[in-house]
Structure formats: structure tokens, C-alpha cells
Structure 1
């Protein structure tokens, strides 16, 4: 047995006989975290502040905060602590900057100099070189974005201690001399708090490393996600969560040249670091990739010396720009993901017989982190030079780009356009609000349009997230098709389409020219201006429907007790002004005297357009008193919660409704839905999940009875499997098997004879063999996530105010048959086979089978209805373009029930 195995075993025995809550000193038999290190006693240790040694216990949120505060108190000239955000549950998110005193004396001055280096339009090459000669490089190490990936945060704490306390250590001195080390120790405090409290609640007399134990199996929703159950490593593009927003602002302040996002993976794996797997995003540079490869080589040196196993290149690609390790590359950083095999507690029994301890994982994370800082210090001058060159190249590439300038017209989707413009400003891009009309590329544009010129330091990011298509390399695609031909799994890790204008349903014009018209750069806090006219109107007010400014006006008005209606069809008032279907009508006679004050306040909060009217005379379309102008109510909305729902879908959906639409949702645990009196709710949403066992026939009967009495049941994505199951029959559609050509997979007559033989068949190629081994009944191929074009029925009240064409995310392998006319209507469907793919990479057979299949299904049932979204409109909460449809499904649908 190796010495390392014996040490691990001794630690395991020591931990096993200890009481979980006890604070026990580090056992003398353990090797130090960094062999040969001696530490300054003036810097407080884990033991002194927390009562346990590094890796002995899983630190909780309060212990983490307390330890960093103690470090700052002990060495205030070498460590600065800053809060950058507050979580939904009220926990502070912090980063610390560590460096020698002269570098930390004024972080504001350091930021100013880095910003100067980041903009060659203001800093010429001579000035840049002067800055490079004196500036330390910035390295930003971020930990624990997934709250149950626990070891990285304790490693971050020990890294800070080591940098401040290590004496006579050449590596540490080099780091302090040449870098500022930014440590973001806990990106997801709410998730970690959830994990640690639940983990220690399961511990008995001794810690269990058995993968069947409660310690190794977290209850729903696990600690991975934040309060709203977001996987925040996928939130960097839409930046919906306060934790992400704060982190983006902090990183943009200092623009560190190296960023590493530190994670955990399955406990049977070892340690992963750069080089990353293919494919790479084509807008990343070879220099950035090479810099991380060089730092990876540095890790290998230390891991080899310490006897740590590791691997590179096999998983975790760098294609999707919305990860914590890919987003920074688009301002010029070199970035990477690190992953350690997780103990997911104090101890874990690997399949190969090894015992993995929590301390092992903390030590490996610490070594990789220290090695990253060392690699940054060694490459200081090169990294700063490469950073400046990246900005130069971005500007020059923008000038030569066929899509040099993106113009956001702001003509149809005011809210979506504004949200996209301010989001890009939040990312650090320069976005100009045009103050005058202008002409560009043969078109006329109005004042109020937004312009983003890619000839700017953030130009590569703009191109990456605005382009309709970002291609994976031909070599990588060829390999995936080869693997599929061999019936091997593909290696596509995540979504392959992410064009923000498509997802936000924003009209964007690409122009190859710079725009010279007058405009002002906006900030992320730039507000969408409300437009309220004729406040003294005698009859009332109309809010044109069609974007989420109007949608948010509706939810705020309902919560404020305003009485209002919504027109099922477009109408023309006084033969002059046409209002789209869904438009809100607020009649003064049906509201209180404070109506004007409420409307003004809500309009300013939402940015909605509100037009007063002195007449209700409609010359075309439904009148104010028509049956086709329905009274809107304030529905009581519930969402299925807990097992077996997908926590991500449940959380994303609740967030969209509560925080983007502005309306409260009650979470109800799934088993309660099977037996409870649901009459107090108007709308129930089933997020993605597999409900058959949890609800069963009793649950189906209870839901059917509730719907029949006037309820609105909305199912998202895989939840439709339960509704469509013929045993439960809540939605009259079927889930399709994979379509195969008549000549493919043609099996012999499988009727067995008495001697269990079948008719012989002839294979003339390897393809025949490949086809013969595929089961006759399989699901369509799984799709990692693409953007798909969909078409919308324009003649139904449920699609009022929704554009004729939208883009949604197509994900997974579920495809449904259309509903028959005698049961309901297919209101949204995928476009044809040549047009269905909007962005990303979609298997040819999926293109063919998805074409014209339903995305939104409406089925009346008694006095209520069932609404099925075969693809979830709340995916990662970045489908702004689907939000009006979702709003209709909740509010207009509940108004149309026959209660």
C-alpha cells in the first residue's frame, strides 16, 4: 500500500470514531497541505478561528465569513475583503484581494490602470508597455458556484491563509510580488447552506462513505443550485441572478488576466484541468488557449510530485460562452475549469477500493489553485501583453466584420429590446442609445434605437452572442456523426445555440458600417421610459399588448386591485388607432378615484405604454362590452414542487413568474396534489419531471376533477409524459418513437418457431449490422439544446399579441403527435424541416421529425383546460421571447375558464 493510501486510511479511521460535531485537531500522521511550508503564527489558522483543521470538516457559510474577516484583521495591508452581492436569502457574497501592500494600497488605482490597458483606443502601445512594466497580473479564482461542490471553498480559505502566512517560500513570494490574487470563495452561499445543514443532519456515530448512504444522497433539490434553483454556471449569458450580476460587475472592475472556476465531479474520477476538451468557441484565441495549457503543465509538475492522479482534454469543453470559465475569455482573459472527484462529504468509497477523504479533495484544490497563481506570476508580462493584444485584435476584427454594427430597432418588442440592450451594457459592452434618426445600410432608423459597434474591446463577445450561428469545428462535427453511426454516444456537452436576439425576440439588423449619428452610451441601470398619455381621459386607459412591459403592467395592476379587461382580438378605436389582440382595457367607471395615481406608478415601474381614451367606440373588432373582451382576474397560481420535478425547471419557472412577470406563486409538494382539495387555485403548473409514480391514478383523477371544474393545468416539457400517458389521459396526444426510413433497421420476422429460431437475414455492409442492433422502438436522438424556429397560430385568444414567429429551445428527445381537432388545438408548432433549426447543431433525423410537431397544445376539459408546452418556455429563464405566451397561458387562460 502507498503512503498516501495509508494516510487516507488513518484519516478515515480518525474521522470515523469522532463525533461529527466535535472539533478535533489535525492528526499528526497527515502530510501537510504544502510539504515543507512553515507559517507565520501571527496569521490565524483554521484551528484558532474555527476549531478544526483544513479538510477536517465542511465549513458552513458563517465560518467562511468569519475566517476571511479574521485574516483581514490580522493582515489588513495584504488582504482586502469586499462584498459584491447579496443572495436571495440574504447572505453576503464576498471576494478578497491578496497581494503585497503597495499593490493593495489602492485597488481603485489598480482598476483604473487595468481599464486603461483594456482600451487601446485610449492607451497607445507605448503607454500600454509602461503599464505592463509596472502592473501585477490579476488572477481571479472562483469557488463553489455549485453549492454541493464543497471542497473548493475550504481550499480557497487555506489558499488565502497560505499566501499570507507562508514563510521563506519562493513560490508564494513570487505570487505576492507579481500578482494580485482575487479569491471568490463561495459563489453560491444559499446552495452550500442547504447542503451543509442537510449533510450533517444525516451523520451518525461514524461517517459513511457508502454511495447508498444518506450522506451520499442529497434530498431534492440538492445543494447544487441557488435559492431559485438555478445552475448558476449557466447563468452568465442571461445574468438573471443577483449572485451572477454582482460577480460580473466585480470581474469587469478588475478584468483579471487569468480566471479559474473550481468545481467537483463524480467521486470515482480524479482531477481535471486544462487543456480543455474540444470543441472550442471559434471566437476564443489560440493565445488564450495556450496560456491555460501552460498553466496546466505547471499543475502537472506539482501533481506528479505529490502523487495526485489527473487527466485533461477528455470532458468539459469551451464552446458555450455562458460558463464561468468561458465568459471571461471574451474580455481577454485566459480561463479554465478545474474539477476534483468529490467525496460529497467526509469520506467516499471509490469503486477501485480507494478511500477518498474530504481532506484529499481540499488539498488537491488548494494545490491547483496555488499552481494557478504561480503560473500567473511566472507569465505576468506575457499575460498582460496578451491581454492588451486581445483588445487590439478585437477592435480590428470588428472593423473588418461583415456584421460590424448591430442595430436594435426597438420597433416591436420594447421591453425585450431594452432588456437586451441593458444586459449587454451589464456584460461590459458599449451600447449607444441613438438620440436622432439615422440611415444605415440602406435603411432608415428612428431615434431610440440601440447601436452596438463590434469595433470595441468587447467586440468578440458581441459577435459571439449576437451571431445567428456559431459553428463547432468541422472536425468535431464529423467525429460526432462518426460516433453516432457506430451507435456511440456523442460528445456534445451543452447547448449549441444561444443567439441572444433570437431568444429575446428582438429585431436586430447587422450592418457592415459604423454609425456616425448622435447617441449616448447607456449603463446597465438605464430605465425603460414609460409613455403615459391623456391622463385626464374620461372613459379610461388602454395598454397595448405584445411585450413584457405590458405583461408586467398586468400583473402589477392585478396585485394593486385594478379592474381591467383584455380583448381576444385586435380592435380599432374611433376608426383611428389599432390595438393588438390582448390589449388591456381599464375603465374609469369600474375603478376607484385613485386610479390615475396607481396607473402612473405602475407605468413608471414597468415602462409600459398607457394611452387614455375619451371614447369606447370601436369600429372594428370586439367592443369593450363584448364577450370577446374578457375580465381579467388575479389568479391563485401554484407550481408542483419537490420530487419528482426537475429542480432546475421548477426553480426557473417560479423565477420567471415571480421575478420577471412579478407575480407570486405557491409551491405545493407533488404528493399533496394527489389528494388535496385544489379548489383554492386557478392555475397549477407542472414543471419538467416524471410524475407517473408520484401522482398515479389518484393524482390524475384529482387533477382532472379540478380542471373540469375550471382549473388551468399547464405542463412543461417532460411533464407532458404524465398527461399523455393513456393510463391517465389528461392530454390527448402521444409521445413519438424515433422515425426510421423503411429500409433502415428492417428486422426479420421475429415470430419464433418451436425451436426458437428466426428467419435468416443477409448483411451486405457494416451499416446493415449497425441497423440490425438498434431496437425497433427507440426514442428520437437526444438533443443537447438548440434554438428552434416555431410558428404561432394568430387566431386564438391564447396567442393574443404573440408574434407569428418565435424562437424556443429544443432540448431532449420528446416529440409529440399533434392533438386532433375534436380534442383541442395545436397553437404553436415547429417550422418545416428546412427552417426548424434557428441556431446550433441538430441531427438530421431530428430536423425531419420535429418539423410541424406541436410546441403548444390547448385542450379544453369541462369548465377548465390543459395547456401543454412540449418544450419548456422557461429554460434557464433566458427565453424573453416566450414570456408573453407564458403570461397568456396563466392570466388570459384563467380569465377564459367557465367558473
Structure 2
């Protein structure tokens, strides 16, 4: 080994093995002098940064103290988490800038207005938003946020003063407080004294579901586009108020890695909607700042090889579609306080310092390139309304005539992203030519050609398909009334009192929530298994499959009490409910028909714990908690043997290995189902019940090569990862043909339904002709990447949704995930039908 190589390696090992718990000088010695009236993080917390993990409430308290003591800082809250923790932002600049922030904001926002052309590019401070800790168990960045805030508020160095004069810095120290505190508690409670660096120590191996995700086990770094959770909705509302020029997104990665900053690997789409100037010019402009800063402290790093910003819902990609430069940073994680690596040990303070140094370097780069960034933001929004090609789509028309609450949810998402929406009769129109043109493209456009075949995440995100929102492109527009809120989107007739019966449409997205509310209040209800028309208080009305009947005379309550409950249900969930005074239908089944089946109240179990996909489990929990307002018992795998299954009528299993369920427990599940109960399996759990022969269905499996001595094509080793990754279905959207006469299809009017697939579970259609509820169509591709082999040989011939009988019960098998990321309003109904109608779903026996 050459001497220079030996010196570099020795330096690298030294950096990792040193545990520098030496107070703030390790981080801040080049930012002196400091204002002694401002406490450092160490003085405020009572321990040096990096000595232990800091709770979110302590971080908030420290930021509040900085704002209290210094005219350089102000603090605001932009929301609360599911667990009621504050989401806060500290704004830091000169006292003059902080006092005049509203005036500066007004001038800054002119650059986002395509109709005007300000040119004072260098006179206005640049707006920089530093975002930290979106993944709760990637904790180094929140500690760095405190150091960054202290340096900006307390340092009197010429460098810091220059930054303050030329920048407004917004510091969001913890984007995911619930997850952070879950991880903080874990790391601190298992911290040893002396520190234990052994990778197998409990400190470095969190228990399920780990701290990465929020309260409902969602990955908030995928939620910028989807805007499902209060953390994201609060941040998006704040974002569209300020439109910062630069946004950071600090993360951690594998312990044996080093440090990553942008540029990323080349963007995956052949026709990206993000301007090339962003992902090439601006990233390359900023990269030397990070390189120099990390070189100065001897840290190693890499760029260009990994990660991609193709999915527009990351903290490092969404701002790119808002005229900003979004920047991803990834630090090798100590996953605790000190951990072994291939190059010695890596300490928590070391990881924090890299994040802190990159934070300061970001501000420096932004300040020194103010003019470039402002011109870019200005051109970004101007190009949205000027660069519209001829003979292309002028806008999109959408709207579901039968489901106003799904319309409302979709419009809410458009408005959250500041997309302009207009009313057109009973439908809606979104013009392409508007400042948020690129978000319009994101919502509606679909793709099937890609430069790259391996994606860091999903390759499909056309949100209109998430909502099963049928839409069409328009060549010309005639815009009428602009929709600025969702307040008047749902327009229903208030139900009037009846002494005979009430009928609720099942087509509406909120109908399951209203049904559960009525059941929980003690009403007896039934589902219509065939359509009918009947005279109601609103005239003759046609009702679809699944319509809910509330017969007044069958209740154990007075007619006034029944009406009060029905009225409350309608008001709470804004659903179409009608009264009738007759059981005689003008067409179809009468109200006394045997095709009305009494519905039992779901009493459901969800298996959770080690080996279970926490994302999918959280999606089920979130759906039932926040939209249906129905409890579900979350049963840890370790408690399975003790649980009295007979007290429940529904069991949900999401993707997982389920190694804990031995043959006796598998038999227990099968016997429970056979007694008339419902097992619902999602994705890899469906594969599990097939592999374990709980059901008699089959998978379409890839054939093994049995030919001996067959010549195998020789391929370059360097291409192995991409070639193998190409066969992974990372996330794409496909069309299925749904049997809308089947109870699982109740509430749908159109047999064509988009579904989301991010697995390699390919179920063969059932041999029973009535058991394949949804099958992929002949040409099912809608959006996203899928390899030719997977598409032609496995996906196209397979089924998306099956029902398999066991005794008097049934197993409902989803090959795809109907609840993906809390956003698939279009397929949630399939899952909810399984819960509410499960008892009445059977598979007619046929001769084999």
C-alpha cells in the first residue's frame, strides 16, 4: 500500500473511532465569539450534544428559549402530531429582518407570481428552510438543528452575521416528533455506561414497529404529495405560505456507509417534469460547498451513485416542484450512541457534526447564490404558464356522480397543493396552464417509458388513479366558478322522519363510517344484495348493490330514537340517506326480500408485531381509526395463543413472514374461519395462506430451470444490481376488471378499477368461476415501471382479489394493497366491504 493511501485510511479510521464528547467546541469552535446571554444546547439541556438522545419537548423548549432571549429569532407552531406534540419552526435572521418579516415575505412571494417580474434579486434575503428528522430513528439531524440554531442566534462571527443579513432561515427541528420520541426512549433506556458498541446490543436494534414512522406507522417522507397526516398537512400549509428557495431533508442510512449529498443518480423518467436546470445545474452549483465543508473536518462522502428524486412526494423532491432547490443528505447512522463498523466505531457526536456542518454549508451556498436562486424560482413559475405546447391537453375534467365525499377528498388534495379547480355543472375542471402546472401533471399524467428500471421508491403516483377518479383530457377550456374550498362540494338532502324505513346509499365513501356509527348505537341494519328503485322522500330513487336498509319496526328503539341516530349519522358523515313509507319497490327487490341480509357489527383483530409489515398494519389501523371511526384490536403475535378468537368475527393479516405461527396455530386459524368467520389477507399474507395450504388457491410461480448444463448468458458483474432490481415490482398502477355484483364490489358502478401493486404476489384465478372477484384486464398497465417478464408472464394472467371458502367461513385474498399509504380512496371500499359484508360472502359450490 502506498504511503498516501495508508495515511488516508488511518485518518478515516481515526475519525470513526474517536468518541468526541468534549462539549460544544467539537462542533462550534470556528463560530466564536458567542453571546454569553444565550445558553448553548449543552448549558440548556445539562449534557453535551451527542451524549444522549434529546426528547422533542426539550428541543421545543430550547427553541422557545432562543426566541425569548434573542431578537434574531421568532418561533411559530404549524400544527400538532397525532400524539399531540407541537410542530414548530424557528425563524432566524437579523433583528431588522425578523421585525420586517411580513414586508420581506410580500416581496419574496412576488417571484412566485407569473404575472409580475421583480428584478431586485440581490437586495432581498434568500429564504432557506432547514428540515430535520422526518424519520424518527434517524436522530442526528435534530441534534444538529439545535447546534445550527444556536450558531445563528448566538454567534457574533463575521461569517454568521453575513448569513443573517442575507438570509431568512427557517429551522424545523423535528418533522416527525412521535417517531423521534419513540426512538429516543429506546436509545436512552438501553444506553450502557460504558457505551456498548456491539452491533447486537439492544440499543442498536429497536423493537417493532421502530421509530422511523409516525403514530400510525406511516413514512412521513412519502407523505408530502399525499398529505394524509397532520404533520404533512401542517407543513404543506406552511410551505405554500412561504415558498422557500432552498429546502433541506436530512436523513441517516446504513452504519457502514459514509455521507451522501446531492447530486443523486440520474432521474428515472425519460420525460421528467422537474426542470433540468434544477437536478443538474443547481445541484452541481451547491455540491462544492458540501464537499469543502466535509473535507475541512476530514469526513468521507459520496454522490451520484444512489437515491433518486423521481417520486415527487419526498422532502427532497416536492420543493423541486415548487421552484425551490431541495437537497437530500444521508449520514451513516450510529443507531444509538456508539456502534461498530468495518472501519472502527462510529459515534453519535460524529454523525451530528456532519449534519451540522452541512446545514451551515447550505446557508452559505444559498447566500452566495441569491441571484441564481431567485431567477430560477421566478422562471420556474413563469414557465408554468408560458411553456404550454400547442395541440396538447388544456385541462382535465373529473367528478363522480355517485360519490360526493370521494370528490371532496380529491378536491381537498388539489387545493392543499394550491392547484386551481373550477366547477363545471356537476363536474370539475383543472386547467394545465396555471402556476401549479407541474403538480397538475403529477396528479393526472401517467407514464410507461423510463430511462432507468430501478427506482428507490414507487414509479407511479398519478393521484387521480389513487382516488379511482375517472377523468378526461380537454383540448379547450371554458372556466366558470373557481372552487376555493371543499365546503360546498357535498350537497345532500337532509333525511326526513319515517315510521317505516330509511335507506342509505352504499356508493358514498363515507357510508361504511355512517353504517358503523348506526350499528354502534344499537340499530339493526341490512344490506341489499340486488339493486332496486323505490319511492322515497326525495321522489323515486334507484339504489345500487349494497344499499343499507334501516327498518324502523324491527328496532328495539322508538321511531324517534331511530330517527335521531340516522339523522346524527347523516350529519356526522354527510352521506345520502332517504326515508320511505313503503316496502314496495317500483323495480327490483322489495324491502322485505330475502336479498336483504342483516349485517353484524364487525369485531376485528389485526395481527401486529415482529415479522409483520408495520406500514401495511398502520394503514389498516389508520383507515379504521380516522375515517370509519371503528376500533380494531391490534393483537401482538406473542399474544396469539392467549387470544379468544371466538369473540371476533374478522381477522386481518397484512404482509409478513408469520414464522411465529406454527402448524397448530395455522390449524387454529383455519378452524376459526370454518365456523363462519372472515380472514382478510393482504399481499404477502395472501401468499402465506396459499403456501401454508390454509386455502386451496394457487400462485403463479416462476419456473425453475431444470435443464442440466444449460448455457447461461454471461453478463457484466457491474450490471447485476440493476438487472435483478428490474424484476422487482416497486410500485405501479394496473387496471382490474371487478365483479360489481359481488359483495366485495358493492358500491362500485364501474367494473374498471385502478389498483396499486408493489409486490410479486401473483395469484392464479380460482378454479371456481364465482371466486375471482377482480382480475387484471387484458392490457392492465396504467402507470409505472414493470418488467416485460413480470407483466406478460405473471401479472396479466393473474387475479387481484379472490375469495376462498373454508367450511362456512371464507378467506378474502388481496394480491395488492387496497390501503396503500392511506391514499387509495378508490380501493378502500374493497377492504371495508370485506369487513362489513364478510359474513355474507360465500363461494357457491360447483362441480370440478
Instruction: Give the TM-score normalised by structure 1.
Output: 0.87
Q: Equivalences for 1:494-533 in 2 at 5 Å?
A: 494-517=457-480, 519-523=481-485, 526=487, 528-532=489-493
- In the alignment of these two chains, the number of paired residues is 820
Deviation at 1:247?
0.7
Deviation at 1:796, TM superposition (A): 2.0
1:141 to 112, 130, 143: 130
Which stretch shows the higher mean deviation, 497-506 or 535-544?
535-544
Contact 2:208–2:610 (CA<8 Å) still a contact in 1?
A: yes
Q: Is the contact between residue 531 and residue 608 of structure 1 (CA under 8 Å) also seen in structure 2?
A: yes
In the alignment, the residues of structure 1 paired with residue 60 and residue 391 of structure 2 have an alpha-carbon distance, to the nearest angstrom, of 47
Match of 1:665 among 632, 638, 646: 632
Partner of 2:846: none
2:143 — aligned with what? 154
Contact 1:675-1:699 at 8 Å conserved across structures: no
Query: Does structure 1 residue 861 correspond to structure 2 residue 822?
Result: no
Matched, 1:800 2:795: no
Q: Which shows bigger deviation, 652-661 or 586-595?
A: 586-595
SS at match of 1:594: helix
Contact (CA 8 Å) 1:395, 1:456: kept in 2 or not?
Answer: yes
Secondary structure in structure 1 of the residue aligned to 2:731: strand
CA distance in 2, matches of 1:894, 1:78: 63
Q: Indicate if the aligned counterparts of 2:246 and 2:325 stay in contact, CA closer than 8 A.
A: yes
| 1:418-459 CA distance string (max 9 Å, x none) | 21111110112122234xxxxxxxxxxxx2322211211111
Do the aligned partners of residues 433 and 590 (structure 1) sit closer, same or farther apart at CA in structure 2, a change above 3 Å counting?
farther
Report if the CA contact (8 A) 1:399-1:455 is conserved. Answer: no
Correspondence for 1:563 among 513, 524, 535: 524
CA distance in 2, matches of 1:66, 1:779: 45
> In the alignment, what sits opposite 2:697?
733
Residue aligning to 2:172: 184
Q: Equivalents in 2 of 1:617, 1:336: separation in Å?
A: 65
- Secondary structure, aligned partner of 2:455: coil
Q: Decide whether the 8 Å contact of 2:226 with 2:823 is kept in 1.
A: yes
Q: What residue in structure 2 maps to residue 223 of structure 1?
A: 211
1 CA distance for matches of 2:561 and 2:484? 34
Shift of 1:118: 1.3
Matched residue SS, 1:541: strand
Kindly indicate whether residue 456 of structure 2 is the aligned counterpart of residue 493 of structure 1. Answer: yes
Distance 1:472-1:100 versus aligned 2 partners, 3 A rule: farther
Residue 358 of structure 1, aligned match among 316, 338, 348: 348
CA distance in 1, matches of 2:586, 2:806: 34
1:589 aligned counterpart, secondary structure = coil
Offset at residue 540 of structure 1 (A): 2.3
* Cα distance in 2, alignment partners of residues 796 and 448 from structure 1: 29
Aligned to 1:747, what secondary structure does the other structure show?
A: coil
Structure 2 counterpart SS, 1:723:
helix
Structure 2: how far apart are the matches of 1:144 and 1:842?
A: 32
After alignment, is 641-650 or 508-517 more displaced?
A: 508-517
User: Would the aligned equivalents of 1:331 and 1:457 in 2 still touch at CA under 8 Å?
Assistant: no
Which 10-residue stretch deviates more, 453-462 or 779-788? Answer: 779-788
Alpha-carbon distance between aligned partners in 1 of 2:511 and 2:15, rounded to the nearest angstrom: 64
For residues 205 and 52 of structure 1, do their structure 2 counterparts lie closer, same or farther at Cα, with a shift above 3 Å needed? closer
SS across alignment from 2:758: strand
Give deviations 1:365-407, integer Å, cap 9, x for gaps: 0011111111111111221121111110011234757222112
2:715 and 2:83 mapped to 1: Cα distance? 56
CA distance in 1, matches of 2:416, 2:391: 23
> How do 1:474-873 and structure 2 match up within 5 A?
476=452, 480=453, 491-517=454-480, 519-523=481-485, 526=487, 528-532=489-493, 535-573=496-534, 576-591=540-555, 592=558, 593-691=560-658, 693-725=659-691, 728-739=692-703, 747-748=707-708, 763=711, 767=713, 781-802=727-748, 803-821=750-768, 825-832=771-778, 835-848=779-792, 849-873=794-818
Provide closer, same or farther for how the CA distance between residues 516 and 809 of structure 1 changes in structure 2, counting only shifts above 3 A. Answer: closer
C-alpha displacement of 1:884: 1.4
Deviation at 1:890, TM superposition (A): 0.4
State whether structure 2 residue 236 is matched by structure 1 residue 276: no
1:217 CA drift (Å): 0.8
Residue pair 2:31, 2:155 contacting (<8 A) in 1 also: no
CA distance in 2, matches of 1:412, 1:8: 61
Distance 1:507 1:6, change over 3 A: closer
Q: Which moved more, 1:800-809 or 1:83-92?
A: 800-809
Structure 2 residue 306 is matched with structure 1 residue 318: no
What is the rounded CA distance, in whole Å, between the counterparts of 2:726 and 2:168 in structure 1?
50
**Structure 2 partner of 1:380:** 370
**Superposed displacement of residue 70, structure 1:** 1.5
Does 337-346 or 412-421 show the bigger shift? Answer: 412-421
SS in 1 for 2:625: helix
Match of 1:246 in 2: 234
The equivalent residue for 2:434 is 456
- CA displacement, residues 720-745 of structure 1 (integer Å, 9 cap, x when unaligned): 232112xx4222123332258xxxx5
Distance 1:779 1:462 in 2: 30
1:166–1:747: structure 2 CA closer, same or farther, 3 Å change rule?
same
* Distance in structure 1 (CA, Å) of the matches to 2:511 and 2:78: 32
Q: Does 1:888 align with 2:833?
A: yes
Change beyond 3 A, Cα 1:187–1:401: farther
Unaligned runs of 5+ in 1: 15-25, 435-446, 481-490, 749-759
Residues 880 and 155 of structure 1: CA distance in aligned 2, closer, same or farther (over 3 Å) = same
Secondary structure of 1:807's counterpart equals strand
Q: Decide which moves more: 271-280 or 779-788.
A: 779-788
Q: Could you say which residue in structure 1 is the equivalent of 2:3? A: none
- Contact preservation (8 Å) 1:690, 1:721: no
Deviation at 1:354, TM superposition (A): 2.5
Mapped partners of 1:451, 1:114: distance in 2: 30
Written as runs of structure 1 = structure 2, the 5 A alignment for 1:6-405 is 6=14, 9-11=17-19, 26=22, 31-33=26-28, 35=30, 37-75=32-70, 77-121=71-115, 124-125=116-117, 128-130=118-120, 132-170=121-159, 172-279=160-267, 282-289=272-279, 290-351=281-342, 353-398=343-388, 400=390, 402-405=392-395
Judge conservation of contact 2:144–2:356 (CA < 8 Å) in 1: yes
Looking at structure 1, the residues matched to 276 and 32 of structure 2 have their Cα atoms a distance apart, in angstroms, of 36
Note the C-alpha offset of 1:561. Answer: 2.9
